Structure 1
Amino acid sequence: MTMIRRLRSSPVLLTVPAFGVMFAVFGIPMILLFLTSLNSPEFSLANYIGFFEKKSYVLILVQTLKISLVATAICLLIGYPTAYLIAVAGRARPVLMVMVFLPWLTSALVRTYAWTVVLGDNGLINSLLLNLGVIDRPLTLIYNRFAVYVGMVHIMLPMMILPLLSVMVNIDKTLMAAARSMGAKPFTAFLRVFLPLSVPGIRSGCILVFVVCLGFYITPQALGGLGDTMLSTLINSQLTTSLDMAPTAAAAFILLAVALVVLSTAGVNLASSHGQSGSVEHKIKANRWLSLSKVSRYLNELATPFRARYWATKLYKSHRDTRWANLIGASFLALVLTFLLAPGLIVIVISFSPGEFLEFPPTTWSLRWYYSFFQDPTWTGALWNSFKFGLIVSVASAIAGTMAALGLSRCSPSFRSSMTMVILTPITFPIIVVAVAVYLGLARIGLVGTSTGIILGHIIGAIGYVVVIVLATLSGFDRRLEQAAMSMRAGPTRTFVRVTFPLIRSGIIGGALFAFLASFDEVIITSFVSGYAIPTLPLKMLENLKQQVDPTIAAVGSLLTLLPIVWLVALYFTLWRGRSSLQNAAANPA
């Protein structure tokens, strides 16, 4: 009896629904997919050997790595100064953060479609250059590597900026001022003080962007040419054209192996650089440059009197006027925000065009394509399916994710960290690998082509968002409030309803909204599981993009661009009400 009571009170049991669904829909299929790649039960590496024996496959793998690396590097070069400028923006920081955050919430399919409008032969850039007489014929801006990089960087740049920004806002700015007061120039102070402190953000952003880029499927297919094929496109082609799952499974696990190597590298504790490894590296460098060090020390001693006099004259003087630096920084930030926001705004403007073809700006304004969208049962049916699936997924994932977060918050830190990483695997793994595994698992139980299968495929990723957000909310939760309620004879259910839930309600609602958007925008897993038998709005858009450039897509893209704004408004009022309730509770303890 005592053992049963302990099991009932064990917080780990709260995680059973979330981990049960993930293990059934994703965990077991991943194991089966791995066994399939090894030709179980014979167990051989023939499929892996066959992959590397085909020169075209190896070239596609190398090309995938190259595209992902270049896209990550571009995101870092643009994202780091952008994050720094936002971090030091003062009162304008919240507005700038929202402007960066908003494109990240917008459908990736809509943003890809926007670049087809901007970069096309009859697109905005070519039309503008032709009208100005700069060029005689349209430039080849689309269906090449350049367009792939533009689309990928546009989608991934917010994902690079946000981790950098989360680290930079916590760096003590007085450290830079102290370095300047000691005679360091602005660039030297930044290089020696600020940059080393921001390394964790650089590492997190680069790893996150690179791993996601490895699984890119829609953007390279829509914006690139035949020479820009990535491994995810090859996996999808193998799955749709061949009945043999083994080569597809091998290709998926090769892509997953690359992602795991990168993720494991991110898990290395770089704080140990101050320990033995760092000291060994320092000794090696010191021995390597010993002779130059002696010369430098001698010259430094000769220059000390001159540098001391210069330092004394400059030490307490005011710094130079930074108007030019501020102007350059503001201009750069404006260009980045234009790059992030302009494609969505262009889609909204084009959606009011009355013509049969896309034009910017429209000669006249019309709601023709909005009427076309709402009067077409195929479009409205797809919209209803997406809304229905998103609502069910948000409710189910909010319940299971909140239970899992409550259970993990009561466990030891090491166990909580490990289990959180496990539950985030559907998000951190390349999406094409997750889609293949989910398809294999659901096909074995006959749920491919069903609404239940689509919902289950969406839930495994949505639960991760809820767990992370609710865990962050619980990090500041005082357990003594629950203990006080229980000491007054309140049961576990009553304590949760009257004490715990009101305090973490904003996190639960925020997680549910994230889950809804993730489900509403999901296209890759849906295309595998539904087999286009049950259309959703992203699937309908993808199908029309492949067949024709229907201006109705612009109206759909406009609606999907405005959806995150509604979400942010709802989240703002949710957090504001949650904060108000906490303030009222603090003011009225009785």
Structure 2
Amino acid sequence: MSAATLNHDGAFAAARRRLRFGPLWLAAPGLAFLAIFFLFPVLRLLGLSVQDLETSAWTGDHYARIVATDVYFRVLMSTFRIAGLTALLSLLFGYPLAYWLAQLPERQRGLAILAVMVPFWTSYLVKTFAWMVILGRTGVINQILSGTGMSPLPLLHNEFGVMAGMVHAMLPLAVLTMLPVMTTLDRRLVQAAETLGAPPANAFWLVYFQLSLPGVAAAGLLTFISSLGFFIVPALLGGPQQTMLAQLIISQIQEMLNWAFAGALATFMLVAALVTCWVYDRLFGLSSLSGETSGRTGGGQGRLRGAGMSILSGLAKASTALGGPVGRLLGPTVMDRLLPLYSAAVIVFLVAPALVVVPIAFTTSPFLDFPPPGYGLEWFRVYFNSDLWVSATIRSFAVAFATAVLATLVAGLAALALARSSSRWRGAIFAFFLAPMIVPRIVIAVGLFYLFAQIGLVATDLGLIIGHTVLALPFAFVAISAVVKGHDWRLDQAAATLGANRFRTLMLVTVPLIRGGLVAAFLFAFITSFDELTVAIFVSGGVKTTLPKQMWDDMILQLNPTLAAVSVVVFAIVMALLLMAEWLRRPAR
């Protein structure tokens, strides 16, 4: 054999080694799915924003129009301001609750977390409808004020209504994001700081709070990005001054069919989300969203760390100066009860709106009177006797089940691939699977609508399943990754040593041990699909109506007690799923 042949074979073998992905091939189905139904539609939409659809020439006129037109620029700034305020208030109100939950014994913490999970998984439409009942001119709050002789307050169709609804929607997400970080912190570090002479305020701000910052930053990232794409709350609880970017995008597509201008609006939203994500990644690393450590270091971080420590030192000094007089004024007993009382008040704030809807669903009045003048089942009969409502409910269940199965399967394979791989591509693939959670939903929905209109998937169940799976995949992926990360792979090796092939090892060893993550992923995906409205508005085509889409149409036209009955049905479904998840989780302990 010649030297040239040997060199050629050696080069070919080296090339094969470089291309060998090993376990990462398990992620190939998910990568292909996201490339076709996420990356391509989003990039195509962004391409439309710099294109003249009549001449196909490149142009920046759409962006110039946004900046030059006062109304569009004002909506752009209003969107960023409302999203920023929502994230800030969610962190401020949510941190003490997460701190209190982290201190509870495990059993009590589980019950308290359930009270946070219920509003977290309850449909945005149900929660928004509840706030319309509470804040309306004849709503619960104004009825109470009228009963005391006070004049009604304008609580709806203004910024107060929008902020109340959005903070209520985002607060559970902030708490549930911060809590896992807090529960892993060693509280003996705080005790050690106090033993060495640090005042309690210094020990909290400079030790505990500093260690919990990755969770705080992750909560801020997720709440800000989620708020950017909101349109349900501002459309139903706000007024013209609270119009947000997503509402403009919807009107440009549905009313004017102006794809290019909608793409330019979507680009502004996407850039804001990506910049926020980039800042978080530079500071903490995207992998920390699933509980992994990023290990990031650098001079820039050192300067930021120094500035942050100065701020925390100032907060510690202010807390010490203020805490002494307040503690003496209130006394130790009251001070010890402040945090539990505050946490109970926040939980009531989270749970009460959904509970207010329940009695209205059983009213005998055709109006949303509270308290109801009488009770009956009339509006449930209207719901169950309506072919439109029943077909929408059945379709939502079918689409959600198919979405949950597909998302869990694809995400499970990807999570196993990344857990077993040490490839340099691992970080990029992880970020790609998280991308649909980072890109605002309205951008994904419009991109999919443009793609599906070309391939005939608009107004089809398959189109809904694909769109919902794109949105559900990151949540399922994170849920499974968090469990797989702690899996003992030596058990799989032992099964292989005893003669089990890879499939039997997967089904009889790996899957039973990570069942908790699979159940959580399935439920996350199911609820994401069952509650999803953004994709349904575009892809359903007004024909394949889902339950959220039907609720949205009715809420836009006229509020009626039938919506309360539907809300109770949705709320009952969420509760049943939560109880089922708890029941399935117990044997795995």
- TM-score of the superposed pair, with normalisation by structure 1: 0.87
Report the residue type matching 1:250 in the other structure. Answer: A
Report the residue type matching 2:344 in the other structure. Answer: A
Q: CA deviation at 1:573?
A: 1.7
How much identity, in percent, do the aligned residues show? 35
Q: Find the counterpart in structure 2 of residue 15 from structure 1.
A: 27
Report the residue type matching 2:335 in the other structure. Answer: A
Q: Find the counterpart in structure 2 of residue 300 from structure 1.
A: none
Work out which of the residue numbers 177, 190, 207 in structure 2 matches 1:193: 207
User: CA 1:500–1:8 in structure 2 vs 1: closer, same or farther (change >3 Å)?
Assistant: farther
Q: Find the counterpart in structure 2 of residue 221 from structure 1.
A: 235
User: CA 1:51–1:126 in structure 2 vs 1: closer, same or farther (change >3 Å)?
Assistant: same
Q: Find the counterpart in structure 2 of residue 255 from structure 1.
A: 269
SS at match of 2:282: coil
Pair 1:438 & 2:443 matched? no
Q: Find the counterpart in structure 1 of residue 515 from structure 2.
A: 505
Q: CA deviation at 1:141?
A: 0.6
Q: Distance in 2 between matches of 1:359 and 1:243?
A: 40
Work out which of the residue numbers 114, 122, 125 in structure 1 matches 2:130: 114
Q: Could you tell which deviates more after superposition, 10-19 or 541-550?
A: 10-19
Cα deviation code 1:488-547 (max 9, x no counterpart):
332222222222222122322221111111111000111111122111110111111011
Pair 1:210 & 2:220 matched? no
Q: Find the counterpart in structure 1 of residue 7 from structure 2.
A: none
Q: Distance in 2 between matches of 1:418 and 1:36?
A: 26
SS at match of 1:424: helix
Q: CA deviation at 1:177?
A: 2.1
Q: Find the counterpart in structure 1 of residue 372 from structure 2.
A: 362
Pair 1:96 & 2:106 matched? no
How many equivalent pairs are there? 545
- Show structure 1 runs of 5+ residues with no match: 289-319, 580-590
Report the residue type matching 1:437 in the other structure. Answer: G
Any conservation in 1 of the 2:119–2:350 contact (CA below 8 Å)?
A: yes
User: CA 1:283–1:85 in structure 2 vs 1: closer, same or farther (change >3 Å)?
Assistant: closer
Report the residue type matching 1:252 in the other structure. Answer: A
Cα deviation code 1:172-198 (max 9, x no counterpart):
212222333344333232223222222
Cα deviation code 1:148-171 (max 9, x no counterpart):
000000000011112222222222
Q: Distance in 1 between matches of 2:295 and 2:507?
A: 44
Q: Distance in 1 between matches of 2:447 and 2:301?
A: 41
Q: What are the equivalent positions in structure 2 for 1:421-500 lying under 5 Å apart?
A: 421-500=431-510
Q: Find the counterpart in structure 1 of residue 102 from structure 2.
A: 87
Any conservation in 2 of the 1:163–1:205 contact (CA below 8 Å)?
A: yes
Work out which of the residue numbers 67, 89, 93 in structure 2 matches 1:74: 89
Pair 1:576 & 2:586 matched? yes
Q: Distance in 2 between matches of 1:554 and 1:57?
A: 35
Q: Could you tell which deviates more after superposition, 412-421 or 117-126?
A: 412-421
Any conservation in 1 of the 2:30–2:411 contact (CA below 8 Å)?
A: yes
Any conservation in 2 of the 1:152–1:219 contact (CA below 8 Å)?
A: yes
Any conservation in 2 of the 1:424–1:461 contact (CA below 8 Å)?
A: no
Report the residue type matching 1:51 in the other structure. Answer: I
Work out which of the residue numbers 135, 142, 148 in structure 2 matches 1:126: 142
Pair 1:26 & 2:64 matched? no
Q: Distance in 1 between matches of 2:21 and 2:240?
A: 58
Q: Distance in 2 between matches of 1:512 and 1:575?
A: 13
Cα deviation code 1:219-260 (max 9, x no counterpart):
100000011101111111111122331111111011100111
Q: CA deviation at 1:429?
A: 1.1
Q: CA deviation at 1:279?
A: 6.1
Pair 1:265 & 2:282 matched? no
SS at match of 1:373: helix
Cα deviation code 1:260-317 (max 9, x no counterpart):
111101111369998644666799999x9xxxxxxxxxxxxxxxxxxxxxxxxxxxxx
Q: Distance in 1 between matches of 2:381 and 2:16?
A: 61
Any conservation in 2 of the 1:112–1:151 contact (CA below 8 Å)?
A: yes
Pair 1:402 & 2:412 matched? yes
Any conservation in 2 of the 1:232–1:432 contact (CA below 8 Å)?
A: yes
Cα deviation code 1:360-396 (max 9, x no counterpart):
2223321221122111111111100101111111112
Work out which of the residue numbers 160, 171, 186 in structure 2 matches 1:172: 186
Cα deviation code 1:88-133 (max 9, x no counterpart):
2335322222211221011111001100000001100001110121
Q: CA deviation at 1:485?
A: 2.0
Any conservation in 2 of the 1:25–1:442 contact (CA below 8 Å)?
A: no
Q: Find the counterpart in structure 1 of residue 576 from structure 2.
A: 566
User: CA 1:546–1:498 in structure 2 vs 1: closer, same or farther (change >3 Å)?
Assistant: same
Q: Find the counterpart in structure 1 of residue 314 from structure 2.
A: none
Aligned Cα RMSD in Å? 2.7
Pair 1:44 & 2:59 matched? yes
Q: Distance in 1 between matches of 2:115 and 2:424?
A: 36
Any conservation in 1 of the 2:274–2:438 contact (CA below 8 Å)?
A: no
SS at match of 2:153: coil
- Show structure 2 runs of 5+ residues with no match: 1-11, 285-293, 311-329
Work out which of the residue numbers 244, 259, 269 in structure 1 matches 2:258: 244
SS at match of 2:437: helix
Q: Distance in 2 between matches of 1:557 and 1:124?
A: 17
Q: Distance in 2 between matches of 1:95 and 1:449?
A: 41
Q: Distance in 1 between matches of 2:58 and 2:559?
A: 47
Q: Find the counterpart in structure 1 of residue 47 from structure 2.
A: 35
Pair 1:518 & 2:559 matched? no
- TM-score of the superposed pair, with normalisation by structure 2: 0.87
SS at match of 2:155: coil
Q: Distance in 2 between matches of 1:334 and 1:555?
A: 28
Any conservation in 1 of the 2:90–2:167 contact (CA below 8 Å)?
A: yes
Q: Distance in 2 between matches of 1:560 and 1:359?
A: 21
Q: CA deviation at 1:359?
A: 2.2
